[in-house]
Structure 1
Amino acid sequence: MPEQLRVLVTNDDGYESLGIQALAAAMEGLGHAVQVVAPWDDQSGVGSSRAGMIGKAISSKVGENGFIGIDGTPALAVTLARLGAFGPSPDVVVSGINNGHNIGPILHSGTVAAALTASSQGLSGLAISIDSEQPSYVETAAAVAAEALSWLLEQPQGTVINVNVPDVPIAELKGARWARLVPYERSRLVLEKAPTGEPIVGLVLREPPTETDTDEALLLAGYITVTPITGVGELPGDSAATYLTAAFAQ
């Protein structure tokens, strides 16, 4: 790769969010050529959706700082940039800084999906989140992202890491730990009813974790959590194919 890289910065909180501003500044501080392309409004929870991409004109606008907002999802932002819609294709994708953690089952995270979309298109990706919906120390996460990118660039193309950072001053970080994904969300879903009878999905906080090596537990303990992740992939085992063969073989 060239010494100065083309870094695409995106997120799911919107192209004018404080997190994306801090992240772009941190990437520029490394000497890279940074381009920001992100949804123009909040797209949290959209996962890897690129709905309506084929055959549709994608609206975009440019902010005063040169950041590009699109009428679409983070995964769509990555795809458009990779196709050259906004200039030369990026060399790597950095997604965040997300307001709120991305731990455990991260299937629906737009922030993480952007990094995984990069991997599916031959690029490495970094997803960075801070453990607060209204963070006070976004510069801590930005500094962690800069260091994490330096590591990522030495890895094989297509590598993706999911990083969560406590919302504390840099001096209060306890360090970084590899973390397995906790197998459930910190909040569990419950079904409730509106006064008119329609169903409502609510959230109930779970009890604090008893495991000590999960992203949830380590983040609560004050550590940066780092989890290499992969997208859709096959698992070994042909029992399903064998069963269907027995049913349909001629």
Structure 2
Amino acid sequence: MARILITNDDGFQAPGIRALAPVIAELGHDVVVVAPLDDQSGVGSARAGVVNRPIRTVVEEQDGVSYRGVAGTPALAVTLATVGAFGPAPDLVLSGINRGHNIGVPIFHSGTVAAALTAAGQGISAVAVSIEGAAPAHWATAATMAGEALAWIATEPVGAVLSLNVPDLPLDRLAGVRHATLTPITRERLIATTAPTGEPMITTRPADPNPPAGTDEALLHAGYVTVTPLTGIRALPDQDAAYALAKRLSAYR
């Protein structure tokens, strides 16, 4: 079996990570849990200001699993684990279970997804798993699906990443599992308003009741587990355009 790093962006005491780790350990994997000390939702891949300084850590034991909290972001937790701060580097990374879905183009803001992409950037395949709803009841469903996704991604080329969104339903009530595209977002869904203090504020319009077919938003609301393969930072394939731009910029030397 593999050595699995489990992390999240909700904090090392969050119910999602506490539901996920025992399930993966019961599958026979060597589980190491490293996650933020507190809620780091929406921080993306931030990890600035951590070089050459000690990083506070706290360890708690529960049901035979050690949960390590670090004073920092999910991306930092992954980086620490993959460079050997807590023993051998992991073979694979699981990020979650995030409370609330991670759907659509804005997932690049998600600390849960960013943790998976950080692993991929270091040549380790990863799954980011999220469950629908602000107060989910069926963590076990998402944990089971995460275990299935982990088995699949272990057979893929290194650096593969999946974003998995799971309805908050009992396992036997899921509609199925479907590949999903990311729901597009337009500026019309974001509104600039003014707070009572006079400061600018952003709010959102209600979600589209009929999102595009085949997107993660549409399929998740229909009761499907959505699976979206992701890629991190990569070079553009159009070499001719890149060479032309490089030649143009060379005039500024």
TM-score by length of 1: 0.93
Distance 2:196 2:75 in 1: 37
Q: What pairs with 1:220-235 in structure 2 (closer than 5 Å)?
A: 220-235=221-236
Distance 1:243 1:127 in 2: 35
* Partner of residue 70, structure 1: 70
* Partner of residue 34, structure 2: 37
Distance 1:97 1:246 in 2: 47
- Matched position secondary structure for 1:235: coil
Deviation at 1:133, TM superposition (A): 1.5
Q: What pairs with 1:164-243 in structure 2 (closer than 5 Å)?
A: 164-184=165-185, 188-237=189-238, 238-239=240-241, 241-243=243-245
Residues 138-186 of structure 1: per-residue CA shift (max 9 Å, x gap): 110001001111111111111111100000010110110001111128x
Residues 225-248 of structure 1: per-residue CA shift (max 9 Å, x gap): 001110011222333642563575
- Matched position secondary structure for 1:63: strand
- Matched position secondary structure for 2:189: strand
For the 8 Å contact 1:116–1:230, the answer to whether it is kept is yes
Aligned length: 247
* Partner of residue 98, structure 2: 98
Distance 1:223 1:51 in 2: 37
* Partner of residue 57, structure 1: 54
Contiguous gaps of at least 5 residues in structure 1? none
Q: What pairs with 1:106-145 in structure 2 (closer than 5 Å)?
A: 106-145=107-146
Between the aligned residues of both structures, percent identity stands at: 54
Residues 184-235 of structure 1: per-residue CA shift (max 9 Å, x gap): 28x9332211222111222322222342111111111110000111001122
Distance 1:200 1:221 in 2: 32
Distance 2:175 2:231 in 1: 27
Distance 2:25 2:151 in 1: 13
Q: Report the residue type matching 2:199 in the other structure.
A: E
Residues 45-80 of structure 1: per-residue CA shift (max 9 Å, x gap): 011111112112111111233200001011100000
Distance 1:196 1:133 in 2: 28
For the 8 Å contact 1:209–1:216, the answer to whether it is kept is no
Distance 1:216 1:97 in 2: 18
Pair 246,15 (structure 1): closer, same or farther in 2 beyond 3 Å? closer
Contiguous gaps of at least 5 residues in structure 2? none
For the 8 Å contact 2:183–2:211, the answer to whether it is kept is no
- Matched position secondary structure for 2:6: strand
1:6 to 3, 10, 33: 3
Distance 2:126 2:115 in 1: 8
Which one has the bigger helix percentage?
A: 2
Q: Report the residue type matching 2:241 in the other structure.
A: S
Q: Report the residue type matching 1:130 in the other structure.
A: I
Distance 1:86 1:207 in 2: 44
- Matched position secondary structure for 1:140: helix
- Matched position secondary structure for 1:191: strand
Distance 1:134 1:112 in 2: 20
For the 8 Å contact 2:45–2:111, the answer to whether it is kept is yes
- Matched position secondary structure for 1:67: strand
Structural RMSD (CA): 1.9
